[in-house]
Amino acid sequence: MDNIIVRILTKIFDLILLNILFIVCSLPVITIGASITALYTVLLKMTENEEGYILRGFLSAFKKNFRQSTIVWIILLIIGAFIAIDITIIFNAKGTIRNVGFVLISIVSLFYIMEVIFIFPLIAKFENTTLRMFKNAVLIPASKLPAAVMVMVIVIMCIVVTFLNQATILYGAIIWNVIGVALVGYAVSFLLNAIFRSFL
């Protein structure tokens, strides 16, 4: 029992440390992509029991993938801005244009969410060109759809639950800032490793 408790407490401490590193390295905003990639680099190894020093591993991955992850993050921000503008236009439209637009923007948004969720773990796990990363962030999850859907459901539900009301926003802010990001990432990393395993 002592051994189990020590392992659990060690894992919790590691996740809290990772969460703090993620938040600190994300503060400039422009570095969020590199921070997410570094987080997943450590988490994907952690779920395979291959992690080394948490701090060193995170900072090394942050530096290694900084350029590609930052480019990807900027592109995703720009695309996200266009999608937000399109949604505003569609909701202000009427009749058939609104209905057709809603269907199209829903499809585009689904692919966009898939890109946001999967591209940074892909960068953490594989080496490839940025264009191929964007391509594989759709093709690889689509080829392993049940596990990919579970990853998306877990991430989206955790975010939705946070914004249910003022109380959940308050408690959610505390949890996300202390351990939430790393904890959710750790949970989905088991599924991500299963998805990526056949492509290694």
Q: Is the dihedral of CA 155, 58, 132, 140 positive or negative?
A: negative
CA distances in angstroms from 67 to 24, 37, 134, listed in the order given: 18, 11, 15
The percentage of residues in the chain with a pLDDT greater than 90, rounded to a whole number, is 86
What would the mean pLDDT of 51-74 be, rounded to a whole number?
94
What's the pLDDT at 131?
Answer: 96
The label of the residue with tokens 């993620």 reads 22
CA-nearest of 31, 86, 91, 87 to 62 is 31
**For residue 49, what pLDDT band results from cuts at 50, 70 and 90?**
confident
CA-nearest of 58, 56, 60, 65 to 34 is 65
What's the pLDDT at 47?
Answer: 93
Summary mean pLDDT of the chain: 94
Q: Is the pLDDT of residue 2 over 90?
A: no
What's the pLDDT at 198?
Answer: 86
